[in-house]
Structures are given as C-alpha cells and as structure tokens.
C-alpha cells in the first residue's frame, strides 16, 4: 500500500472522486487526490429555430422543398425511362437511358435524405436525455455460482483430468476446418500460371464443331439464320473423367446472322462462314457461362452480372463489368460441309482479371 509523507493518505485506494495534484518541491513528490465531480451534461443550448419563429418557418420551408424536390427526381426518372428508351443496336441509347434514370433516382434519394436530416436537426425536439446503462458485471453471487458450475462441469466431464481425451479433442477441432482450405484451393486454377492454363483449349485446326451434349458434328447447313447452338470439339465426350475443365474451357456459342450484319475486324474476315460465327461461351468477367442470345438485337447476355456482348461487332462489351470481348474461334467448313475450327483461340478464354502480358 503506498502512502505519502504528508498525512499518510492511501494512494492506491483513492475513491473515484479524487483528482491528482503533483507538488514539485525539490526532492519531494507529493501526490494528493481531490474530488473529480461528474461534470454532467453541458447546459442545453437552444437552436436558432427554437428562438426565432422566422428561422423555424425557414427550416420548415427548406424541408418540404427538399421533399418536393425528391418527388421531382422520381418523376424525372420515370420520364427519362420513356424519353430515352433503349434502342436495339444503339449502345448510346443504353448510356443515355442509364444516365438520366440514374440522375433522377439520385436526386430523389438525396433530397429525401437531406430533408430528413435537416428536419431532425432543425425542427424536431433536441432535449438531451440520460439513459442509465445497467452494470455489465454480474453480482458477486452470480460470478461465484458461474465458477462453481465450471468447476462442476470440469469434474463431471473429466476434461481437466483425462488429458488424452482433452488433447485429442482440441486436435480434432483444430484439424476440422483444414479441409475447407483444400476445397477452396480446388476452386482456383490448378496450373501454376493461369494465363497459360486458359490460353490453350482442345480446339485445333480441323476439329469439327459438335453439338453439346449429343457430341454430333454440325454442318453449316444445320445452322439456320437466327439460330444459336452450344458446341464443343468433336470427341470431347469420349474423354475420360478428369478432363472436365477441358470441356469448360472449350465451350463455344455458334450463331448465324446475315453476313451484311457482321462488322468483322479486317484481320478476321475469314474467321466466319457465311454469317456463322463462333465465340467462347465463358464470360470474360469472372467466367460464368454466357447463356442468353437475343436474336433481335444480336446481343449475348451473361446472367451473372449482366454483361452484354454485341455479336455483330466481334462480341465487344456494350454493358456490364466484363472488360474485354468474348474470344472468337476462327471457323471454316470441310469438304463434307461440316463446320471445323481453323485453329485454337488466339487469346486466353475466360476471366480477364488474371494478369495478361
Ligand atoms: S461473369 Fe459474366 S458478367 Fe460477371
């Protein structure tokens, strides 16, 4: 127990209402404690709207003006939906539609939010109240009983005594989450270099395109105008278990458009056949299957995050988070009229968040 020289005051058992003073006289460190009063709440300060009816009316006007502004924003968003409709084959219409609807909704939400905050701060009652918090610490009796229960449980279960059981149980609990680490690892690419893994698929020069899931090769004459097929390399179905990733990588969508609707890149003029084009089915965002083909607009839609690809323009991205076009598979027909690949894809398929060089 620490005591000072001037009166033997107990320094460690000071009550909570003490405050510390230090006497800096040479050679003596004197510490005393005085009352530290609970300062309580600061005095209530009325706002200008409490004192001035004019300011109050002004605040009221501001609040209802903001709420009316919110209504204007909502109406604007509805009007924008009608005035700037999404026109098929016109990507700029998508931008205008999104922009103006977004502006209207932003105004509507911001005005409601600011109006509500201003209402609360300027006009609603602002009297301070004190809500006493009940003590968190249990009573001595409760705490003693809890210790007793733990001791009893320890005794009855033998947890402390039977060390082999205890230690093996701790080991089992530590080991139990480990399989999850392995399972999550299995979700990632198994190859050291993911770009390398996605750069090569089963497609090669001369491989016939076969309908998924029958595996039957498909002729150019089977692909009618406006139709779409999911195709895989012929022979893929014969591959033994364990090559499922090959099927996933090689999945291709085949569509036929009017040749004059295709705006092909100069170096890809011979990658299509009479309006038939083939593109990887794996979305370049995070790899979902691009599953929806809109025949009227010639757009491919990925259902995961709504990326849209324009088939007439080498599958460039016209909406959504995907960052690059779907890779195109160069195709031709063989002597029997079956569709064949001219080569593998010329770029990695699938997600584009991998580092590419
Ligand atoms: S995976 Fe296709 S948009 Fe995200």
* Together in a domain, 279 and 176: no
Residues 244 and 278 in one domain: yes
User: What's the rounded Cα separation, in Å, for the pair 55 and 58?
Assistant: 5
**Ligand 1 contact via 289 beta carbon (within 6 Å):** no
For residues 66 and 4, membership in a common domain is answered with no
Q: Is there a single domain that holds both residue 171 and residue 289?
A: no
130 domain residue, yes or no: no
Burial bucket for residue 255 (CB in 10 Å: 0-12, 13-18, 19+): buried
Q: At what angle do helices 91-122 and 53-83 cross, to 10 degrees?
A: 160
Q: By the 8 A CB rule, do 270 and 330 touch?
A: yes
pLDDT tens, position by position, for the chain (357 residues)? 334 444 444 444 344 444 444 444 444 444 555 567 877 788 888 999 999 999 999 999 999 999 999 999 999 999 999 999 888 767 788 889 999 999 999 999 999 999 999 999 999 888 888 888 888 888 899 999 999 999 999 888 888 888 888 899 999 999 988 888 877 766 665 555 667 777 888 899 999 999 988 889 999 999 999 899 999 998 876 665 546 677 788 999 999 999 999 999 999 989 999 999 999 999 999 889 998 999 889 999 999 999 999 999 999 999 999 989 999 999 999 999 999 999 999 998 988 765 554
| Any ligand 1 atom below 6 A from CB of 305 | yes
Residues 168 and 226 in one domain: no
Q: Is residue 232 one of the residues assigned to a domain?
A: yes
Same domain, 316 and 217: yes
Mutate to test the pocket of ligand 1, among 282, 285, 315, 317 (most ligand atoms within 8 A of CB): 285
Sign of torsion, CA 319 321 326 327? positive
Q: Are 282 and 247 in contact (CB under 8 A)?
A: no
300 ligand 1 Cβ < 6 A: no
- Gap between the terminal Cα atoms of the chain: 72
**What distance in Å separates the CA atoms of residue 298 and residue 262, rounded to the nearest whole number?**
10
Same domain, yes or no, for 100 and 206?
no
- Spacing, Cα 279 to ligand 1 middle (Å): 15
The verdict on 239 and 333 lying in the same domain is: yes
Whose Cα sits closest to atom 4 in ligand 1? 305
Contact 299, 317 (CB under 8 A): no
How many folded domains does the chain comprise? 4
User: Is 353 inside a domain boundary?
Assistant: no
Residue 257 · residue 308 · CB < 8 Å:
no
Q: Which of 281, 291, 322, 351 to mutate to test the pocket of ligand 1 (most atoms within 8 A of CB)?
A: 322
Share of residues in the chain with pLDDT > 70 (%): 83
Q: Are residues 160 and 34 in the same domain?
A: no
Assigned domain for 233 exists = yes
The reply to whether 356 falls in a domain is no
Same domain, 221 and 173: no
Clarify whether residues 247 and 318 are in a common domain: yes
Domain membership of residue 70 (yes or no) is: yes
**Domain hosting residue 325, numbered range:** 196-341
Q: Is residue 234 part of a domain?
A: yes
Q: What's the CA gap between 239 and 225, in Å, rounded? A: 32
Strand-pairing partners, residue 255, are 228, 277
Regarding whether 277 and 257 lie in a shared domain, the answer is: yes
CB atoms inside a 10 Å sphere around CB 34 = 11
Under a CB-based contact definition with an 8 Å cutoff, are residues 312 and 263 in contact? yes
Last residue of one domain, picked from the residues 89, 122, 155: 122
pLDDT digits (tens, 9 = 90+) for 286-332: 889 998 999 889 999 999 999 999 999 999 999 999 989 999 999 99
Which atom, in ligand 1's list, is nearest to the CA of 320?
Answer: 3
Distance from the CA of 350 to the center of ligand 1, in angstroms? 10
Residue 133 lies in a domain: no
320 C-beta closer than 6 A to ligand 1: yes
Whether pTM > 0.75 for this model: the answer is no
d(CA 157, CA 134): 35
């Amino acid at each position: 127990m620490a005591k000072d020289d001037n009166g033997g005051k107990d320094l460690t058992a000071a009550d909570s209402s003490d405050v510390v003073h230090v006497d800096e006289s040479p050679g003596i460190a004197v510490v005393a404690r005085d009352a530290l009063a609970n300062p309580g709440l600061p005095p209530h300060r009325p706002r200008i709207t409490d004192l001035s009816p004019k300011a109050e009316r002004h605040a009221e006007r501001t609040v209802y003006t903001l709420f009316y502004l919110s209504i204007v924003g909502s109406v604007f968003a509805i009007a924008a939906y009608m005035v700037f409709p999404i026109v098929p084959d016109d990507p700029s219409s998508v931008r205008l539609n999104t922009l103006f609807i977004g502006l209207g909704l932003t105004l509507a939400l911001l005005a409601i939010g600011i109006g509500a905050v201003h209402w609360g701060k300027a006009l609603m009652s602002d009297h301070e109240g004190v809500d006493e918090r009940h003590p968190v610490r249990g009573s001595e009796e409760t705490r003693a009983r809890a210790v007793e229960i733990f001791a009893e449980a320890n005794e009855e279960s033998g947890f402390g005594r039977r060390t082999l059981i205890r230690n093996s149980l701790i080991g089992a609990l530590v080991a139990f989450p480990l399989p999850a680490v392995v399972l999550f690892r299995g979700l990632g690419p198994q190859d050291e270099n993911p770009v390398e893994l996605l750069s090569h698929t089963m497609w090669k020069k001369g491989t016939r395109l076969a309908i998924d899931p029958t595996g039957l090769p498909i002729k150019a004459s089977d692909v009618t105008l406006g139709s779409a097929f999911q195709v895989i390399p012929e022979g893929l179905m014969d591959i033994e278990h364990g090559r499922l990733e090959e099927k996933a990588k090689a999945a291709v969508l085949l569509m036929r458009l009017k040749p004059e609707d295709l705006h092909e890149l100069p170096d890809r003029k011979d990658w299509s056949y009479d309006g038939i084009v083939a593109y990887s089915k794996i979305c370049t965002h995070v790899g979902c299957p691009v599953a929806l083909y809109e025949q009227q607009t010639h757009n491919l839609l990925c259902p995961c995050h709504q990326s849209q690809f324009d088939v007439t323009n080498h599958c460039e991205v016209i909406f959504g988070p995907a960052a690059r076009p779907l890779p195109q598979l160069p195709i031709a027909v063989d002597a029997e009229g079956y569709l064949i690949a001219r080569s593998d894809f010329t770029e990695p398929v699938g997600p584009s968040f991998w580092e590419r060089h």
